[in-house]
Amino acid sequence: MNKKQKKSARNIVIAICLVVIIELIFKLNILPESLNENELKLFGRTFSYSVVIKFALFMIPYFVVGWDILRKAFKGILNRQVFDENFLMAVATIGAIIMGEYVEGVAVMLFYQIGELFQSVAVGKSRKNISDLMEIRPDYANLEVEEGNVEKVDPDEVEVGSIIVVYPGEKIPIDGVVISGNSTLNTAALTGESVPRTVNSGDEVISGCVNMSGILRIETTKEFDESTASKILELVENASSRKSTPENFITKFAKVYTPLVCYLALALAVIPPVLLTITGHDANVTTWIYRALTFLVISCPCALVISIPLTFFAGLGGASHEGILIKGSNYMESLSKVSTVVFDKTGTMTKGVFEVTSISPANGYDEESLLKIAANAESVSNHPIARSIVNSYLAKDKDADLDSTLDRESFEEISGKGIKCNINSQVVLCGNEKLMDMENITFEKCEKSGSIVYVAIDGIYKGCIVISDEIKETAREALKKLREIGIKENVMLTGDVETVAKDVSEQIGANKYYANLLPQNKVEIVEELLTNMKDDGKLIFVGDGINDAPVLSRADIGVAMGALGQDAAIEAADVVLMNDDPLMIHRAIKIARKCIRIVYENIYFAIGVKVLCLILGAVGIANMWLAIFADVGVMVLAVLNAIRALKTN
């Protein structure tokens, strides 16, 4: 418990002890009998000294637990924001005390504060999951000012291209590339996974990871504001600003409901006595005022106003603890309604680690020459397939000078098809069937499974290279889990050829696949699927966040898979999965469904109990103690139910 919670708990205990002591004093008649005989005139009325003393004594526990509420109610009146739960509590308790119901007046304040304490502890628990994530924020960076000398500076002051030093136990403050040293990194705060990651010279590292062993010298590739830790923190901090339908409903409901019940309570206190007097019946004004005050206590919308946002907050916190970053409760609500899952192949269901598995030369070329010309052509491309060809060639000849013969000015990367460039005054084409067809190249179609790169020189086909991508171990289980929770439509989209797409689709158990797609084709297919959806379910697209930004934005919910450190994913996606396990898609949907289920449980329970108790209070069956249960009791139960959203299992 924090200081504020401890103070609140202490005040509650003090107030309870004082009430018990005061009640014992008067129950046991400890005060002298003469106090009942002596009288005091106040405000034109006569009171015995014992009544005045009782009032004064009960004011002590009343102000101990109620001072904050009275102060907030007074501020609300001054700021012309009168109708809130503080105003309802203040009016009801002051009215009860004026009527001589001291114990009930203090009890309302007391139990309300107990409910507030429950809420505060619950929020603290859910906030802890998010604050654990906030620990990725670095406090400083060790900037290398000259070789061997470092200076602690604010990460904001470090420019791109600077050298920083990260010692064991320190957080990496800014994204960069390791230029010397090797170590293991703890990525748990980012991914939820406890398995360390090994890094060596030349590896990219991202901010927020904790260096566990060796000293690392890192050349920064981004400014602090653009690095991964900052992007993630911004995402989490802004999550609460995106409200779901239930939250918006409760906000609007409270604005209309609170003043309405105040006017109804006033009407209950005034109209029945007046009508009874007019009709010649006995009108006990005190009875109707008591009913009106009971009505006010019952009507307080605390359970709804507190528990609904708390449930979403707990759900977001629980999800972030597992490495699932949801940008707002509106996306949590949409996730709970998912009926169709569309996913990219490479980097989502496959590892995205390509290896050359076959080289098939033609027209007088041998394997070594074919691989060499392809590696030189692909040497300036960052595409995963291009890097796999280059790496395969370098593995055979590490001293090779790759791009010495490449005319860089002629290099042209044709989206979705391949590359075209000049090497030794020869026009070299490396790409898929579409590129060959576009350039009118006669070639032999390769029937092997994998990504096929066809190579042509000066219009003559020279062979093909087959690159294969390994399917993730959990991909098939992930789709099986999705089917188990009622998601029947699983669609795979890929830019790969038909044979590869079909092979991967069958292995992972997808319902449907689309092959040979360009980025814009993926958007078109998602739009078609959205149009043809017959139910009110939602469609999510899961991609690796590199080339999928347009379709991530177009889907009902964009989910970035394995997007650690990728700005495009964090910006375009609505949900970011901080590790690349496909099973996390299923986990995200289950967490969202549980959260929304708890939200509606609280709404139905709170409104149902309040409506019943309001009717009982209006007809005089419910007293102040039942009112306390209808307000504080329901709030406590709703809060306890809300914190279940923290547990994601």
Active site residues: 344
**Residue owning tokens 């609904």:** 308
Q: List Cα–Cα distances, 332 to 245, 536, 544, 596, in angstroms.
A: 10, 16, 20, 8
Query: Which one, of 496, 505, 507, lies nearest residue 452 by Cα?
Result: 496
Is-contact 142 166, C-beta < 8 A? yes
Please state the φ and ψ torsions of residue 241, each to the nearest 5 degrees: -80, -15
Q: Are 543 and 350 in contact (CB under 8 A)?
A: no
Instruction: Give the CA distances from residue 311 to residues 225, 241, 493, 593, 647, in Å, rounded to whole numbers and listed in that order.
Output: 31, 15, 35, 12, 11
Q: How many CB atoms lie within 10 A of CB 56?
A: 9
Q: How far is CA 406 from CA 263, 373, 380, 385, 402, in A?
A: 83, 10, 9, 19, 8
Structure tokens at 346: 């490479």
Is 493 within 8 Å of 462 (Cβ atoms)?
no
Element spanning 480, H or E: helix 475-484
C-alpha to C-alpha distance for 211 and 168, rounded to whole angstroms:
5
Maximum CA pair distance of the chain?
Answer: 124
Q: Do residues 384 and 390 touch, judged by C-beta distance below 8 A?
A: no
Give the burial class of 473: count Cβ atoms within 10 A of its Cβ; 0-12 exposed, 13-18 middle, 19 or more buried.
exposed
336-359 per-residue burial string, b: 16 or more CB within 10 A, e: under 16: bbbbbbbbbbbbbbbbbebebbeb
Q: Rounded distance, CA 267 to CA 51, Å?
A: 30
Phi, then psi, of 513 in degrees rounded to 5: -145, 155
Q: Is 551 helix (H, G, I), strand (E, B) or coil?
A: helix
Do the bridges between strand 489-493 and strand 39-42 make them parallel or antiparallel, or are there none, so unpaired? unpaired
Residue 363, Ramachandran bin (φ over 0: left; ψ between -120 and 50: alpha; else beta): left
Rounded-to-integer distance, Cα 133 and Cα 155, Å:
18
- Nearest 5°: the CA angle 178, 181, 185 is 70
Take residue 399 and report the two structure tokens written for it.
């001293």
Tokens representing 258?
């609170």
Would the CA dihedral through 616, 620, 626, 630 be positive or negative? positive
